[in-house]
Structure 1
Amino acid sequence: MKAEIQRRRLNPAPRAWDLLSIALSVVTADFAARRDQSPDGWTREIEIDIAVADAPFWSGQAAALAEALAFLTTDRWTLRFHEGGFLPTPPRETVRPTDDCVVLLSGGLDSLVGAIDLAAKGRKPFAISQTVRGDADKQVDFAAKIGSGLVHLQLNHNANTPGIQETSQRARSLIFITFGVLAATALKAYHDGQEVPLFVCENGFIAINPPLTGGRLGSLSTRTAHPEFFARLQDVLDAAGVRVKLTNPYATKTKGEMLKACADQTLLRTEAARSTSCGRFQRFNYHQCGRCVPCQVRRAAFLAWGTVPDATDYVYKPIGKDDAEHAGFDDVRSVAIALAAVKADGIDSWLGHALASPFIQDRAALLGMLERGLGELRALHQTYGVK
């Protein structure tokens, strides 16, 4: 990863390199600390010592970072910083890309739409991917086909720990965003003193990730683009003087609305089914399961879009089938219970405190988006006869 950045002769800001050291340490600890060994089977207490180039500054941000991580992973974090961190010598002939923003390109449907829209609106995004087995080739292909072809950089943290690794991997969000921050601070616009937008494109329903039932923790699914995590991490970036603005332009849009409003419908129709949304993609030998919450949101979005049939090869397609692998599967039941609860008691009762964060400023817009997102899921369950 570091070698690839240096091979491309990029020169990220020193505190962006420090943030990379922090993110690598966090993601490695996330792998090593197993949730099933914690007292409640989920919440962990994690303490890590991290070498950085500017230990006094980061020591002052330790509490803020720990709070951001606590929200992201629902764990208790203690971070300690000391000198000796990696800070490479700038390349002799630095390359400063002239792109005007950075976009995370994961191989997922939302990031595909986001990159398409940015290029269609005349932006020149630098596409950053976190290389994931099963998605690497499509990341390259998507970048080549969007606009006149995007400048694209694939990075991989290669974190590994001995023994059995924790599979939830909630901290991976931090490392992916950090890759984007590194790239943003290497752009010519950044070196010219400008603030660089970093686009993390995710539909609002998954970004908010409302607990579907009372027994389902929000962190059972990713919180990569949740407004609170964004705001907490943005505060740290601002304190560091890192002029990168985290932005999710689809925070108040459902996935179906993203598909319908995509600026290049021809390209989207061709590539949408190739994208990945599944939370269990690797577990099913690089096939999408069709029944996890992200898959259900994806399938509901295709129905709402209505332009082309969903040609995705799902492992469990008929989710209304009355057995444990389909309608009886936990995620399908959780969505069904949520839909029933909203119908019986209203959305405010079902949501509880999900939108109570002081970091949420546009509650009415988010509430409307969640209602529309539930409507898309309701249509999916009715289509497949989920009861």
Structure 2
Amino acid sequence: MDFPFGEDGALTVVLYGQPGAVEAGRSARASAGEAAKSQFLRGRYEAAPRAWDFLSIALSVITADLAEWRAESADNWTREFELTIAVADPAFWRTQAAALEAALKFLSTDRWRLTFIGGGLQPAPPRNAVRPAEDCVVLLSGGLDSLIGAIDLASAGRKPLAVSNIVRGDGDNQEAFATAIGGGLRHLALNHNASPPWVKEPSQRARSLIFIAFGVLTATALKAYHDGGEVPFYVCENGFIAVNPPLTGARLGSLSTRTAHPEFLNRIREILAAADLRVEIINPYEHKTKGEMLRDCGDQALLKARAMDSVSCGRYRVFNYNHCGRCVPCQVRRAAFLAWGQHDTTFYKYEQLGKSDAEHAKFDDVRSVAMAVAEVSGDGLEAWLGPALAYPKIGDRQPLRELVDRGLNELAAFHAHYGVK
């Protein structure tokens, strides 16, 4: 595809505004963030200055991620980015450029180079600022794990403010879950609206950063933060999907998102600490399988009433907002319901995975899970894992090894149940 970049080979991105009409002789422009800024300020929330800078960085990254096609790269996957980002405190962010680049490389497996200049958005403090009294923030995606996380927080007596990145097909679930939990949660639904001036790259591996940025921005608006405290920000995902171990030697970890991978979250935690942003990112399910999350949920009645409405499928929109039933996230979901012992009434387009055809048992994701189960059974967990946990900031690996083993056991039981061979 012939991309209409500017004469200098760059794409101009308008943050917190619209790209405007393209005049003769001027290249097309991208835009991102106007809707999120407007929604946040409409609520009269006041966030920390560096939280706005962090959001500007995330918006720039996700727009670049959407604008550059992987198919145009030398190996059809790894891209090289050079971003110049306007922030309010460029001197500080220059000290974090290498750390951000490393975190982004881990997140998307691309190569990133970030340069920071002045002039970034810093909204004036609103009159009569609203400073929510909630004691934490929880990411509410519309998925099953985030639903369980919000239920557990409310069941434990916490008062979370739910923040969502609006995605078509998930918005209704996000609002319904927020309304049903804890007598009704305050819910801030934001949309990054990152729009390149051409067809978007579908992989979107860097989008995790925008989820984190929305949560950090919201956390710094709470009364507890303005009073000088540290605000917990819960990013709830089962440990097996968070670690995302390559199922076979042919599957790279970046084939799935790494939103809650311990390595990525630890790198972001260090950057937030350096920025003096008092937001503690927590994944309370780092060492739990999805099945264990379901079984241990603090409000079983509410979970049973709402679990089937949640979305787990990696191809949900491809199948007209239905679960495919055969991708890795769908298999993990179905295995979790089996481990929970509850009948799963979710509609799956490909229900009977034991059927030996290209759409069922021979589908790539199904075969990959079956191969992983067989390899662990034959050669042991350590041989299969290899270097999958060998990251410098991942922390104690033994609980993660045990977690991955239990997650594979859930998948093995699911395959046995459906007669996958």
Give the TM-score band, short-chain normalised. Answer: over 0.9
Partner SS for 2:355 = coil
Partner SS for 1:249 = coil
Q: TM-score, normalised by structure 2?
A: 0.91
Deviations 1:38-92 (A, max 9, x none): 1111111111111111111111111100000000001100111101111111101
Deviations 1:76-129 (A, max 9, x none): 001111011111111011000000000000000000000000000011000001
Deviations 1:202-225 (A, max 9, x none): 000000000000010101001100
- Kindly state the Cα deviation for residue 359 of structure 1 after the two structures are TM-superposed: 1.5
Partner SS for 1:317 = coil
Deviations 1:314-371 (A, max 9, x none): 1111111111111111111110111111011100000001111122222111111111
Larger Rg: 2
Residue 298 (structure 1) aligned with residue 333 (structure 2): yes
- Kindly state the Cα deviation for residue 268 of structure 1 after the two structures are TM-superposed: 0.5
In 2: Cα distance, 1:328 partner to 1:354 partner: 25
Counterpart of 1:373?
Answer: 407
In 2: Cα distance, 1:186 partner to 1:94 partner: 9
Partner SS for 1:245 = strand
Structure 2: segments with no counterpart, 5+ residues: 1-35
Q: Given residue 366 of structure 1, which amino acid in structure 2 is its aligned partner?
A: L
- 2:59·2:192 contact (CA, 8 Å) conserved in 1? yes
Counterpart of 2:124?
Answer: 89
Q: Given residue 246 of structure 2, which amino acid in structure 1 is its aligned partner?
A: P
Structure 1 runs (4+) greater than 6 angstroms displaced = none
Residue 313 (structure 1) aligned with residue 347 (structure 2): yes
Counterpart of 1:351?
Answer: 385
Counterpart of 2:24?
Answer: none
In 1: Cα distance, 2:329 partner to 2:338 partner: 14
Counterpart of 1:284?
Answer: 319
Residue 327 (structure 1) aligned with residue 361 (structure 2): yes
Residue 25 (structure 1) aligned with residue 60 (structure 2): yes
Counterpart of 2:157?
Answer: 122
Partner SS for 2:280 = strand
Counterpart of 1:265?
Answer: 300
Q: Given residue 362 of structure 2, which amino acid in structure 1 is its aligned partner?
A: G
Partner SS for 1:171 = helix
Counterpart of 2:76?
Answer: 41
Q: Given residue 218 of structure 1, which amino acid in structure 2 is its aligned partner?
A: G
- 2:266·2:394 contact (CA, 8 Å) conserved in 1? no
Q: Given residue 130 of structure 1, which amino acid in structure 2 is its aligned partner?
A: N
Partner SS for 1:212 = coil
Partner SS for 1:153 = strand
Counterpart of 2:394?
Answer: 360
RMSD, aligned α-carbons? 0.7
Partner SS for 1:197 = strand
Residue 385 (structure 1) aligned with residue 419 (structure 2): yes
Counterpart of 2:91?
Answer: 56
Q: TM-score, normalised by structure 1?
A: 0.99
Partner SS for 1:350 = helix
- Kindly state the Cα deviation for residue 164 of structure 1 after the two structures are TM-superposed: 2.3
In 2: Cα distance, 1:69 partner to 1:238 partner: 17
Structure 1: segments with no counterpart, 5+ residues: none
In 2: Cα distance, 1:207 partner to 1:372 partner: 14
In 2: Cα distance, 1:377 partner to 1:246 partner: 28
Correspondence for 1:248 among 264, 283, 287:
283
- Kindly state the Cα deviation for residue 36 of structure 1 after the two structures are TM-superposed: 1.1
